[in-house]
Structure 1
Amino acid sequence: MGRGESDEKNKMEQEEEVDTGFCDKFRGFPKCIGFIVGNEFCERFSFYGMKAILTIYLLEALLFDDSTSTAIYHAFTFGCYFTPILGAIMADSWLGKYWTIVSVSILYAIGNFVLSISSLFGAPPYPFYGVSPDANIPGAMIGLVLIALGTGGIKPCVSAFGGDQFKDGQTKQVQMFFSIFYFAINAGSLISTLVTPLLRDDVQCYGADCFPLAFGVPAVLMVVATVLFVVGTPFYKRNPPQGNVVVLVSKAIGNAVKNRWNREDGEQREHWMDYCDTSKYDKKLVRDIKFMLHVLYMYIPLPVFWALFDQQGSRWTLQAYRMNYDLGPLGKMKPDQIQFVNPALILILIPIFEGVIYPILDKCKIPNKPLQRMCAGMTFAAAAFVVAGFIQIALQNTYPQPPAVGNSGLRVINLANCDLQPTFNPAFTGDDAPSFDPIAYQGDQKLYNVPMGNHTIEFACAGKTSLTDYNVDMGDQEFNTVIIKENNGVLYAPTQFHTDWDKPDKADPKMRVIFMLDPATIGHNVTVRIENKDVPTQVYETFEVMMETATEYVVKEPGVFNVRLQYENDAGEEQDDLVGTYSTEHGGGYTVVVYNNKDQNNEVTSYIDASPSSMSILYQIPQYFIITTGEVLFSVTGLDFSYSQAPKSMKSVLQAAWLLTVAFGNVIVLIVAEARLIEDQAIEFFMFAGLMGAVVIIFGIMAYFYTYNEIPKDDEEMEELGKSATDGDLENGKVKNGVDNPALTTDGPVSERVLAGDTSYITQL
């Protein structure tokens, strides 16, 4: 999934070692590694499974609109990438990695279960809707907060804790561990984004999407992750907390700012960090902070990339939500399932870029420096949103269009046993006078475009007494339905029914029932029941009916439905008659008419008020491919750049800063969504593309003038080996007598090297 989970080259130059085979990389593997990798797989499954369906849950079950759902999604994501700083401080300063992982994992699992249980209080038909206001939206928000604290708390700890288990000198084993660890991350995310939407949509709970199960499975996986980790306890090597470098750096910077503010008049120093009190803070620390700040300057524009990238789970999912999911013989894809394309493409593209594209660029002498790659990645992200914008325009063009200004839509449904001919009375004159085509009887309908206003229409039928003075009041751009019936050879019609021509707010179809039977001729206490044809016990809606009335629109799952009449006959017996069936599709609006046909049998016919979604969800594949290409160029290379440009002591600080760019990128989307300044989603996509384009120019200029850090080799580190750190003693990064330069190899515990960035492709999502 990128963002540092990509397999970067190990930046440590190693002495040549004899590799006698693939299996050698597993020799000396600690026994506990399986528990750590299993924990990571289950935790990533839990996180991505929950996150994949989150936007649709907010939209469908908690009934938020698009903008609020987007804002909550990105606020949650912000929390997930801000809290790792707290987790790192907790692990390195107080509890240590082991107890931090255990404690926050328990919190994490509790959050998942709170979210799953609170989903039982979602919108109807869930049984506990409205039972307790404290368990509906507040319950979901509490669950999300706990999950954000949990995933953020363990994010900086698990990979480093795994590295702690190896001995010094196990370079190949450490590399293999991180490759397996990386595979577990992507396997968990890939499988969960495929499976969890299936649990949501293909399993029904109370006649609706089964969010309790879809959230419950990730909750169980988080419990499994915690248990796996705890079971491995007897085998772990645990290092005590040794202080957090992020806290130390923050204090040193605060000291420098304070001293600079209180400096004597006229006092000037070369760099503002030079005001730091060197009696409290080591000169080497001050020097390293300067290098770090030089890199952090280049981080300033980076949040905009993540603002675009993380919309895959919000705005792009909402776009998919309103598309056609049918893949023909391959079945149907869920709108939240399309997100699996990103991790799948990551696994494909990283080897292609590392093994093919970058070597070709080098051979062709095409500039291929880290900042240039990152700039290209940003450009791809902008291009992805341009494509998304055009896809959105094409999608919106499939939406039902209202009648032109000054006009109205009139639908006439013929239930009389003859061919029906409507005409205006008096007739319109002129070249553009509207006309009516005849309507055959088979429950047939015709749609007409008529001028707005109050009109009188005559309905004539051979052999029947005409309805000569039917009045319709047509508002501007309204859509109305008239149903013509006959009674003993006389045509008549109830009052016109206002009809919604627009698509439902949600992707699920909306429907209503117009009851054209006289309940008195059927029995007493007549109701219409809509049920799942395949699972009749799943009752979708029950309407109490009166003669020639229309119910309100209700939003239901798409599918095939039975329509049953339930009533009490004259003998006082309960009757339940199947009248007919009808089907609905995603994004459609339907009027279901129950009437008596020409053979005097009860019948059901459904009429489309708003066309269902017709644009295939597969049209999103290009934008996913483009932004994933941008992710490989930007994210993987960004960590490469951060590693190479940071002193060893500052690598963990830059890792934390990298996560903060992700967090603040989500804040940008949150602000845009909550501001609601842009109503048209296509324009919003183009706005983000333009913003990214402007940042590309700014970042390109910054990169052009950027001077790459030249990290000096430390005297103190060389003295640990009893060597001098003079330039004359170094050759190609090694001491001339063959001892590795410790700035480039393995001094200190493995955990420090992992936190410092060795095998730094593991910045977990």
Structure 2
Amino acid sequence: MSEGSTKRDSNALSPAAEINVAPEKQMYTTWPDMIRHWPKTTFCIVSNEFCERFSYYGMRTVLTFYVLNVLKFSDNAATMFFNGFAVLCYATPMLGSIIADGYIGKFWTIFSVSIIYAAGQVVLALASTKKQGASIHPWLDITGLLIIAFGTGGIKPCVASFGGDQFELGQERMLSLFFSMFYFSINAGSMISTFISPIFRSMPCMGQDSCYPMAFGIPACLMILATCVFMAGSFWYKKPKPTMNVFGEVARVIGRAIANKSHSNESLPHWLDHYMDNHCCEHDNFCQKLRIEKRNKKACQKIGFIDDVKSLFRVLIMFLPVPMFWALYDQQGSIWLIQGIQMDCKITSGGLLLLPDQMQTLNAVLILVFIPIFQIIIYPLCSLCIELTPLRKMVAGGFLASAAFLITGFVQLQVNTSLPSLPGSNEAFLSVWNIAKNGCDVSVSMNAQTHKLTYQEYLHLYDDKEKNVPSNYYTIHDASKPPSMSFDFTGACPDFASNKPKFNVTIPKLEGGKIYYIAVTPDGILNPTMVKPDKPTEGTGESAYSILSLTYNQNFAYCRVDGVTATDGYLCDPKRPSDFFYWERAYDYGTDDIIENVVYAPGAGSGNAYSYDFKAVRPGKWHLYKMGTYLAKSVTQKTKGREAINSSLSETGQGDEITSQGGVYVIAVIDDNNTKKIEYFQVVSSNKVNILWQVPQIVVITAAEILFSITGYEFAYSQSAPSMKALVQALWLFTTSIGDSIIVLITALNLFSNMATEFFVYAALLSVRHFMAYGHAVMSSKISININLF
């Protein structure tokens, strides 16, 4: 779910939060009276909240994909980037609270920070209009996100409480309805945006097969609209003046108490009481103000404030396990999304895709469903057997979160079966691919291992369970000193092997940690060609394709032909990026899709072959064409339409229907005077586990949130002193920042090569932290906390 759906979201304060009240008026409880006396300006605040939540979650939902595919960060770097951004978003509310409470007030804080917030969204949207590799990346993107983090954090502590300020005593029923509307607007904004932003992302635009400018631009427009809507009520809002910087006062009390205690031999009931050692009410403005209000010359504001700070410390004990909970929960937008990329997104036989980032919508929907279910059914039933205290709810929620990650780990174990095996840093994997000639068999020997390959066969780099063929590639343990290989040809073989049926080939030095294949072609035995085993990360069901072209070294077009017949003509349309993929030479200021000029092994053939880069291609029916030297797409020229490209196309004879997802393939284009044919080599298995297997872990983590997050915040808020409520809210949000910092730290240490292991470790860490923290909470409560905790 979106955090905003619960009281974890800082925008959502309790109805009691910081409301300046006028003398009590008549209580309005009937609908006609409430409608007549309702503060109309609150509709501006609720509408503002809807737009702001739509803006934030719309941007946040697709951010990981943007970092992976445009900024080209690795999985680990993308995780650190996403959760590092979350760290800032949930650390800055403290600053927003200080500014609002101590300096310019809530209204001006919301307005000024909203302008900054909208500017950050615009900067990010503008940055996304530039292609990957542009010089503005990632610096302009980071600038925009830093501004957004300050903006969303700055207004978090202010909006809900500012809405509450518009009500007076006697309007408690109306105030409760306002917060219900407020929570609904949070959920509506986040739920809608998490569903439609991935759709915007997946649409083609600006010459690309995805549209991040739209995915970021629409949230930017919503944030501008949110600011305008908020300002629409500016002349009618009640605008309480700032009173006291609570955070600064708490820090000052703690600092002076510690200093005084270090110089005092006197034993006091609590170390904070040492603040009073040198306190003088005559020099304290707050004490003087209290004396005037109470008409009591002996009144001391600091005595009550110190008691409030003591209660703050007692409440903070409840926060001990909270950061670890958020360290698990906030992986939904980063590591769980990366898991979703490795899964099969097709959910119907007709090919309907459920995008990985759309899975976050389920969380937002479930929280709306679960809240009444827990309140009306589960809690009353459980109360028949055991007293449901806040501590017990939070313990249950913590263990449910651990269970969610255990489920995630077991799902990942199945996902791992379709992931590529990678060699060690000094190793290399080597496959052999026989595309010599129909009827020509090749026996390959290396290190006393012999494999016989018929025509079109290759050594599998993965376990192909559909064909019941295990992986049987060669492992070279020292890539810098690979052994020689022997090739024995039998049957009707090409000319190069007819006169010399056996070849001993010396393999050149290879790069450690890489995967290679040797293609046996009609013209000879090629030297090893490197492959990229990385699955596509675009998130719309793609598979990755490379081309190995014999003799031909110009441009290719891969065009969608679903529903197109030969009489239609103009099969390729460069202006439809999701239906047109290409491999080109010398485009976009010198980019070249040929990544390797592959030569034949000495004495085992002559000529050249060309290895083209891997491109992510969406599901559908496709046809491969040669374009010669024609440039269909380049930033140096205007993209031309179907008529222009049609005259430059020539047939390869290759047509293919892509139904699976996540596979990595090499297409061999054999085109010389004697032979014209197309062959396929699958390097990495397709995704096998359906994305709907993520549903159980999302259901469990959502139930955990109901028990842990909502209960924890409500309890901490209710037990904190009135003067500490805003600070408790900011500190609650800060626990999210700490939780995301834990994710960044563990990811930066790069401790796990297996995501399943990582999920199991997170589950264990939360369970252990739960036992430790609540053991401490139990002991502390028995000693000093006089509240109904258990």
Q: 2:122: which partner in 1?
A: 113
Q: 1:22 deviation in Å?
A: 5.9
* Aligned residue type for 2:484: N
Secondary structure of residue in 2 paired with 1:219: helix
Q: 2:318: which partner in 1?
A: 298
Q: Summarize the Cα distance change of 1:382–1:634 in structure 2 as closer, same or farther, 3 Å threshold.
A: same
Q: 1:349 deviation in Å?
A: 0.8
Q: 2:246: which partner in 1?
A: 245
Q: 1:275: which partner in 2?
A: 274
* CA deviation profile, 1:593-614 (whole Å, cap 9, x unmatched): 223599x785544432212222
Tell me how far apart the structure 1 counterparts of residues 494 and 259 of structure 2 sit (CA, whole Å). 96
CA contact (8 A) 1:304 1:695 kept: yes
Q: Summarize the Cα distance change of 1:424–1:687 in structure 2 as closer, same or farther, 3 Å threshold.
A: closer
Q: 1:55 deviation in Å?
A: 1.4
Q: 1:224 deviation in Å?
A: 0.9
Q: Are 2:452 and 1:436 equivalent residues in the alignment?
A: yes
Secondary structure of residue in 2 paired with 1:336: helix
* CA deviation profile, 1:163-187 (whole Å, cap 9, x unmatched): 1122221111111111011011011
* Aligned residue type for 1:504: K
Secondary structure of residue in 1 paired with 2:235: helix
Q: 1:84: which partner in 2?
A: 93
Q: Summarize the Cα distance change of 1:286–1:32 in structure 2 as closer, same or farther, 3 Å threshold.
A: same
Q: Are 2:489 and 1:455 equivalent residues in the alignment?
A: no
Q: Are 2:55 and 1:46 equivalent residues in the alignment?
A: yes
Q: 1:262 deviation in Å?
A: 2.7
Q: 2:441: which partner in 1?
A: 421
Q: Summarize the Cα distance change of 1:18–1:276 in structure 2 as closer, same or farther, 3 Å threshold.
A: closer
Q: 1:469 deviation in Å?
A: 2.2
Q: Summarize the Cα distance change of 1:179–1:3 in structure 2 as closer, same or farther, 3 Å threshold.
A: closer
Q: Summarize the Cα distance change of 1:527–1:249 in structure 2 as closer, same or farther, 3 Å threshold.
A: closer
Secondary structure of residue in 1 paired with 2:238: coil
Tell me how far apart the structure 1 counterparts of residues 339 and 208 of structure 2 sit (CA, whole Å). 25
TM-score, with structure 2 as normaliser: 0.78
2:529 to 488, 498, 504: 498
Tell me how far apart the structure 2 counterparts of residues 322 and 206 of structure 1 sit (CA, whole Å). 26
CA contact (8 A) 2:121 2:220 kept: yes
Q: 1:692 deviation in Å?
A: 0.5
Q: 1:615 deviation in Å?
A: 1.4
* Aligned residue type for 1:111: G
Q: 2:195: which partner in 1?
A: 194
Q: Are 2:664 and 1:589 equivalent residues in the alignment?
A: yes
Tell me how far apart the structure 2 counterparts of residues 158 and 51 of structure 1 sit (CA, whole Å). 20
Q: 1:577: which partner in 2?
A: 650
* Aligned residue type for 1:367: E
Q: Are 2:759 and 1:685 equivalent residues in the alignment?
A: yes
1:626 to 700, 703, 709: 700
CA contact (8 A) 1:422 1:459 kept: yes
Q: 1:543 deviation in Å?
A: 3.8
Q: 1:155: which partner in 2?
A: 156
Tell me how far apart the structure 2 counterparts of residues 574 and 3 of structure 1 sit (CA, whole Å). 59
* Aligned residue type for 1:247: G
Q: 1:663: which partner in 2?
A: 737
TM-score, with structure 1 as normaliser: 0.80
Q: 1:565 deviation in Å?
A: 1.7
Q: 2:548: which partner in 1?
A: 514
Q: Select between 110-119 and 295-304 the one with higher mean Cα deviation.
A: 295-304
Q: 1:408 deviation in Å?
A: 6.4
CA contact (8 A) 2:529 2:611 kept: no
Secondary structure of residue in 2 paired with 1:121: coil
Tell me how far apart the structure 1 counterparts of residues 616 and 258 of structure 2 sit (CA, whole Å). 60
Secondary structure of residue in 1 paired with 2:242: coil
Q: 2:502: which partner in 1?
A: 469
* CA deviation profile, 1:665-709 (whole Å, cap 9, x unmatched): 111111111122333222221221111011111123123231485
Q: Summarize the Cα distance change of 1:510–1:473 in structure 2 as closer, same or farther, 3 Å threshold.
A: farther
Q: 1:392: which partner in 2?
A: 412
Q: Are 2:614 and 1:554 equivalent residues in the alignment?
A: yes
Q: Summarize the Cα distance change of 1:262–1:28 in structure 2 as closer, same or farther, 3 Å threshold.
A: same
Tell me how far apart the structure 1 counterparts of residues 309 and 733 of structure 2 sit (CA, whole Å). 18
CA contact (8 A) 1:532 1:559 kept: no
Q: Summarize the Cα distance change of 1:68–1:9 in structure 2 as closer, same or farther, 3 Å threshold.
A: closer
Instruction: Structure 2 unaligned segments of length 5 or more: list them.
Output: 18-23, 285-300, 461-471, 476-482, 563-571, 586-593, 598-606, 631-645
Task: Give % identity.
Answer: 32
Q: Summarize the Cα distance change of 1:174–1:484 in structure 2 as closer, same or farther, 3 Å threshold.
A: same
Tell me how far apart the structure 1 counterparts of residues 152 and 423 of structure 2 sit (CA, whole Å). 50
Q: 2:7: which partner in 1?
A: 4
Q: 1:272 deviation in Å?
A: 0.7
Secondary structure of residue in 1 paired with 2:519: strand
* CA deviation profile, 1:372-391 (whole Å, cap 9, x unmatched): 11111111111111111222
Q: 1:165: which partner in 2?
A: 166
Q: 1:252 deviation in Å?
A: 2.0
Q: CA-atom RMSD, angstroms?
A: 3.4
Q: 1:421 deviation in Å?
A: 2.7
Secondary structure of residue in 1 paired with 2:547: strand
Q: Summarize the Cα distance change of 1:151–1:482 in structure 2 as closer, same or farther, 3 Å threshold.
A: same
Q: Are 2:748 and 1:674 equivalent residues in the alignment?
A: yes
* CA deviation profile, 1:691-747 (whole Å, cap 9, x unmatched): 1011111123123231485589xxxxxxxxxxxxxxxxxxxxxxxxxxxxxxxxxxx
Q: Are 2:343 and 1:312 equivalent residues in the alignment?
A: no
Q: Summarize the Cα distance change of 1:168–1:711 in structure 2 as closer, same or farther, 3 Å threshold.
A: farther
Q: 1:542: which partner in 2?
A: 583
Tell me how far apart the structure 2 counterparts of residues 669 and 226 of structure 1 sit (CA, whole Å). 33
Q: 1:748: which partner in 2?
A: none
* Aligned residue type for 2:330: D
Secondary structure of residue in 1 paired with 2:222: helix
1:325 to 338, 345, 353: 345
Tell me how far apart the structure 1 counterparts of residues 688 and 548 of structure 2 sit (CA, whole Å). 26
Tell me how far apart the structure 2 counterparts of residues 61 and 103 of structure 1 sit (CA, whole Å). 31
CA contact (8 A) 2:557 2:624 kept: yes
CA contact (8 A) 2:519 2:526 kept: yes
Q: 1:359: which partner in 2?
A: 380
Tell me how far apart the structure 1 counterparts of residues 629 and 272 of structure 2 sit (CA, whole Å). 87
Aligned length: 673
Secondary structure of residue in 2 paired with 1:337: helix
Q: Select between 229-238 and 183-192 the one with higher mean Cα deviation.
A: 229-238
Q: 1:726: which partner in 2?
A: none
Q: 1:25 deviation in Å?
A: 5.0
Q: 1:246 deviation in Å?
A: 2.6
